[in-house]
């Protein structure tokens, strides 16, 4: 490479091979430079600044160790979804009558097991994200992997008792909750913004590969070992298969600032967004992010935005508990009342603590929380007053001026609702697609293998392809957040095709091809979800510092899990209600699947109309 001054610009002559030409053109187009190809042997590039010479070197000649890390995340996600997906292919056996050799479960029993798993998964993701921000991704992901593998194996030893399955699957969900917060944080640490959606799409495609393997392996287990032994072997083998990954993870992984295999050129390229210095990152890697999560501490101050966020979250969770309780007809009135009282007490306790710290922020005594003792208007009046007053900017007797916490940022809520409204759709495809094919087209468990395999295989294209869309838009000069939201809007249009699923599933109209037409439509929906998910996860690292990514991802994943609980329970209720005509139940579900993404995009755009990086915490 040679460079020489020509007036006010710097002319760089770089000899490259044919296969590097597209990379050259893409890189410098994104930097606003004029690029002209003068043949495969030479490219003349006049950058705007002389400092771009170093960027030329880093973008062409940096290493690729970050993609090794991406590969490790891919395999972790593959095992994560392989273990999770096993139970969906055992539903037919579990719901077979006892006389027929099964467990005699109802659709609602199966829905209860998957719903409890999802509820624990949702609840623990917020804590998993905070823990991972504290202890780091290396140990955090390893602990999560070990936990879900152990309880995945344990599922084989609980017999046919529904409550036992619910208990084990809930602990299984505790482990699974750590995968995505750790993986998204790892991507934020190891990739510059322009590559994060692609890296996320690649590792997230492991969820499809895991589902594909389950689609072939679990039915094979039932056929090869027989139903009575096969369901146990499915849990044992899949749970144990991923344990060697832990050895490779501890061998190959360290944070970028501690990774000896990482070249200086690649380290500089990873940090080309200039978000953090090496010293800052090294400090975070060693000590973790010190975000206060003490919801029950009366000392200190909180800002108005944080108070509103905490209040909204407690009200949202209380409403969620009420809605879910109405979906359990077997729940007695006394039991429901007890649940409401416990949840109400906890919500009030958290809010009173927040009120005390909010009074401190206004320079007033925390004893004013006793206003809540005034019947009827005490609590409501306090919340409205504290939500409408700005705090003191200077230090007061209760401490320094309050900064906005995670729940006080609209960016957090945009991600939360993006996950809440769409994650349940993927869970529906995971847990109910085999049942849909069995009931709609009367397939056998052997015949179900191929179409489900195809659906999850096509979804891989969506995962990787969707991640490359904003990367292309950024190369054309579009800002990162705008490119991300534009890509997500285009992706959100694709699931509208799912509205036509039941039309094409009409065997009387389309004959034996009906099943394949329906599967093709579902393929579009599944691929669109994975493309959406790859970009949605990347919005976190676009808007938050790396040290906060795990916590925010955990909050969003909790929202996704809560949405999944509703979708899974609703699926069980509808298929039981329309047992004689399951196509009506699935028609309603496919309407939800098609409209959720545009609704989520609209809310996200309303909350965060333009990019704004969070810098205070």
**Same domain for 383 and 432:** no
Residue 246 and residue 391 share a domain: no
Per residue in 263-308, pLDDT (tens digit) is 888 888 888 765 544 444 444 444 344 444 455 677 788 899 999 9
Helix axes 206-225, 65-85, angle to 10 degrees: 40
State both tokens at 575: 């298929």
Helix or strand or coil: residue 559? helix
Select from 54, 46, 476 the least CA-distant residue to 272.
Answer: 54
Calculate mean pLDDT across residues 39-58: 37
Burial of residue 17 (CB within 10 Å: 0-12, 13-18, 19+) is: exposed
Choose among 534, 510, 517: nearest CA to 459.
Answer: 534
User: Token pair 């090794």 is at which residue?
Assistant: 68
Res 330: pLDDT:
67
The answer to whether residues 48 and 29 touch, using CB atoms and an 8 Å cutoff, is: no
Predicted pLDDT at 295:
57
Q: Which residues neighbour 570 within 8 Å (Cβ) at sequence distance 6 or greater?
A: 327, 589
Name the residue among 413, 426, 380 with its Cα closest to residue 309. 413
In a 3-state reduction of DSSP, which class is residue 3? strand
Most confident range (mean pLDDT) of 78-92, 396-410, 516-530 is: 516-530
- Which of 39-53, 105-119, 221-235: highest mean pLDDT? 221-235
- Report DSSP state, residue 545: -
* DSSP line for 470-491: HHHHHHTT--HHHHHHHHHHHH
Q: How many residues would you count in the chain?
A: 617
Flag whether 39 is in a domain.
yes
Distance separating alpha carbons of residues 527 and 463, to the nearest angstrom: 7
**What pLDDT does 40 receive?**
34
Asked whether residue 272 is assigned to any structural domain, the reply reads: no
Whether residues 384 and 426 fall in one domain = no
In a domain, 359, yes or no: yes
Task: Give the least confident one: 107-121, 227-241, 280-294.
Answer: 280-294
Q: pLDDT tens across 302-338, in order? A: 899 999 999 999 999 888 888 878 777 666 778 788 8
Higher pLDDT, 29 or 379: 379
Element (H, E) at 260: none
Domain co-membership, 169 together with 37:
no
- Domain assignment present for residue 387? The answer is yes
Name the pLDDT band for 110 (thresholds 50, 70, 90).
confident
Asked whether residue 201 falls in the same domain as residue 224, the answer is yes
Query: Of 366, 384, 404, which residue is a domain's last?
Result: 404
Tens digit of each residue's pLDDT (9 = 90 or more) over 416-463: 999 999 999 998 988 888 889 988 898 887 788 889 889 988 888 888
Pick 48 or 253 by higher pLDDT. Answer: 253
Within 10 Å of residue 604's Cβ, how many Cβ atoms?
Answer: 24
Q: Are residues 398 and 475 in the same domain?
A: no
Strand-by-strand arrangement of the 36-37 sheet: 2-6, 9-14, 43-45, 36-37
- Whether 486 shows a pLDDT value over 50: the answer reads yes
Name the pLDDT band for 122 (thresholds 50, 70, 90): confident
| Domain co-membership, 480 together with 505 | yes
- pTM comes to 0.73
Residue 38: pLDDT band with limits 50, 70, 90: very low
Q: Is residue 10 part of a domain?
A: yes
In a shared domain, residues 8 and 84:
no
User: CA 86, CA 339: separation in Å to the nearest integer?
Assistant: 31
Tokens 């028609």 label which residue?
A: 587
Count the domains in the chain: 3
User: Are residues 243 and 356 both part of a single domain?
Assistant: no
Q: Inform me whether the pLDDT recorded for 208 exceeds 90.
A: no
Looking only at Cα atoms, what is the longest distance across the chain? 89
Report how far residue 387's alpha carbon sits from residue 375's, in angstroms, rounded to the nearest whole number: 20
Closest by CA position to 430, among listed 553, 499, 525, 324: 525
The answer to whether the CB of 410 falls within 8 A of the CB of 484 is no
12-15 long-range contacts (CB < 8 A, ≥24 apart) are 12/44, 12/45, 12/46, 12/47, 12/53, 12/56, 13/42, 13/43, 13/44, 14/42, 14/43, 14/45, 14/56, 14/60, 15/41, 15/42
Indicate whether 30 pLDDT > 50: no
Q: Which of 199, 600, 185 is nearest to 425 (CA)?
A: 600
Parent domain of 95: 65-261+407-607
Same domain, 329 and 400: yes
**Integer Cα distance of 444 and 213 in angstroms:** 18
DSSP 48-84: SSTTHHHHHHHHHH---HHHHHHHHHHHHHHHHHHHH
**What is the C-alpha end-to-end distance of the chain, expressed in Å?**
44
Residues 428 and 382 in one domain: no
In the numeric block, the tokens 């505790």 are attached to 174
Question: Residue 284 domain-assigned?
Answer: no
> Please, is 339 exposed, middle or buried when counting C-beta atoms within 10 Å of its C-beta (0-12, 13-18, 19+)?
middle
Q: Pick the more confident residue, 126 or 19.
A: 126
Return d(Cα 309, Cα 478) in angstroms, integer: 32
* Locus of tokens 């292919």: 89
Tell whether 281 is covered by a domain.
no
Q: Which of 385, 404, 423 is the last residue of a domain?
A: 404
Helix (H, G, I), strand (E, B) or coil at 33: coil
User: Could you tell me if residue 68 is left (phi over 0), alpha (psi between -120 and 50 degrees) or otherwise beta?
Assistant: alpha
Structure tokens at 178: 């750590």
Q: Tell which residue, 149, 153, 181, has the closest CA to residue 246.
A: 149
**71, 161: one domain:** yes
| pLDDT of 568 over the 90 cut | no
The whole-number pLDDT of residue 19 equals 38
Query: What CATH code is carried by the domain that includes residue 159?
Result: 1.20.1250.20
């Amino acid at each position: 490479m040679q460079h020489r001054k020509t007036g006010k610009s710097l002319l760089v002559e770089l000899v490259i091979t044919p296969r590097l030409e597209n990379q050259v053109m893409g890189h410098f187009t994104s930097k606003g430079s004029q690029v002209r190809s003068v043949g495969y042997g030479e490219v003349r590039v006049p950058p705007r600044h002389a400092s771009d010479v170093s960027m030329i070197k880093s973008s062409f000649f940096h290493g690729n160790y970050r993609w090794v890390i991406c590969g490790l995340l891919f395999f972790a996600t593959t095992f994560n979804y392989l273990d999770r997906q096993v139970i969906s292919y055992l539903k037919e056996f579990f719901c077979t009558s006892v006389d027929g050799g099964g467990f005699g479960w109802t659709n609602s029993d199966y829905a209860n097991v998957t719903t409890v798993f999802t509820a624990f998964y949702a609840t623990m993701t917020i804590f998993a994200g905070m823990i991972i921000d504290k202890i780091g991704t290396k140990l955090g992901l390893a602990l999560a992997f070990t936990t879900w593998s152990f309880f995945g194996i344990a599922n084989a030893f609980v017999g046919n008792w529904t409550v036992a399955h619910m208990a084990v699957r809930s602990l299984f969900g505790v482990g699974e909750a750590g995968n995505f917060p750790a993986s998204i944080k790892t991507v934020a640490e190891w990739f510059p913004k322009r590559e994060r959606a692609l890296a996320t799409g690649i590792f997230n495609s492991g969820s499809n590969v895991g589902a594909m393997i389950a689609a072939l392996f679990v039915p094979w287990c039932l056929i090869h070992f027989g139903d009575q032994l096969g369901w146990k072997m499915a849990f044992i083998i899949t749970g144990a298969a991923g344990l060697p990954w832990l050895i490779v993870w501890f061998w190959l992984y360290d944070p970028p600032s501690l990774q000896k295999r990482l070249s200086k050129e690649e380290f500089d390229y990873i940090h080309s967004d200039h978000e953090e210095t090496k010293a800052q990152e090294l400090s975070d890697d060693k000590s973790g992010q010190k975000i206060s999560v003490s919801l029950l501490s009366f000392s200190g101050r909180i800002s108005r935005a944080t108070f509103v966020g905490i209040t909204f979250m407690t009200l949202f969770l209380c409403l969620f508990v009420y809605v879910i309780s109405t979906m359990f007809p077997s729940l007695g009135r006394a039991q429901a009342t007890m649940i409401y009282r416990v949840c109400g007490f906890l919500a009030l306790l958290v809010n009173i603590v927040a009120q005390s710290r909010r009074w401190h922020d206004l320079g007033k005594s925390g004893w004013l929380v006793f206003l809540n003792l005034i019947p009827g208007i005490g609590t409501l009046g306090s919340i409205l007053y504290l939500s409408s007053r700005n705090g003191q900017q200077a230090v007061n007797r209760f401490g320094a001026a309050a900064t906005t916490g995670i729940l006080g940022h609209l960016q957090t809520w945009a991600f939360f609702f993006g996950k809440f409204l769409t994650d349940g759709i993927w869970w529906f495809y995971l847990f109910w697609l085999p049942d849909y094919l069995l009931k709609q087209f009367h397939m056998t468990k052997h015949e179900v293998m191929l179409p489900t395999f195809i659906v999850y295989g096509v979804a891989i294209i969506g995962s990787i392809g969707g991640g490359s869309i904003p990367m292309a838009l950024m190369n054309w000069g579009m800002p990162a957040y705008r490119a991300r939201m534009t890509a997500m809007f285009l992706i959100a249009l694709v699931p509208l095709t799912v509205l036509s699923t039941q039309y094409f599933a009409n065997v009387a109209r389309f004959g034996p091809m009906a099943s394949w037409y329906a599967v093709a439509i579902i393929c579009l929906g599944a691929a669109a979800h994975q493309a959406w998910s790859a970009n949605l996860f990347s919005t976190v690292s676009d808007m938050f510092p790396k040290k906060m990514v795990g916590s925010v991802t955990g909050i969003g994943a909790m929202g996704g899990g809560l949405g999944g609980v509703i979708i899974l329970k609703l699926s069980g209720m509808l298929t039981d209600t329309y047992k004689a005509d399951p196509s009506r139940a699935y028609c309603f579900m496919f309407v939800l699947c098609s409209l959720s993404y545009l609704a989520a995009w609209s809310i996200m755009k309303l909350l965060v109309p333009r990019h704004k990086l969070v810098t205070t915490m």
